Amino acid sequence: MIPVLERELGAGRALPLAGCAPGIARQLDWDGLILTFSSERFVGWKTAGESAGQTCA
């Protein structure tokens, strides 16, 4: 998933994990679209107005 996004949108910016639920290992931001990942898979997404799955505060 990440290689496809990087090919289409450029490199995502890594965000700190402060405020993240246990199990979230990575958080990447593409111009306001923030995706969260466990060590094994994609677990959630967030924008300025909406979110789904496991996200960080």
What confidence tens digit (pLDDT) does each residue in 4-57 have?
999 999 999 999 999 998 999 999 999 999 999 999 999 999 999 999 999 998
pLDDT confidence of residue 31: 95
pLDDT confidence of residue 29: 98
**pLDDT category, 1, cuts 50, 70, 90?**
confident
Judge whether 55 lies within some domain: no
* Residue given tokens 């909406």 in the structure block: 50
List phi, psi (to 5°) of 27: -140, 120
Judge whether 21 lies within some domain: yes
Show the domain range for 17: 2-47
Judge whether 39 lies within some domain: yes
Judge whether 52 lies within some domain: no
Domains: count for the chain: 1
Exposure pattern of 10-25 as b/e (b: 16+ CB <10 Å)?
eebeebeeeebeeebe
Judge whether 16 lies within some domain: yes
pLDDT confidence of residue 36: 97
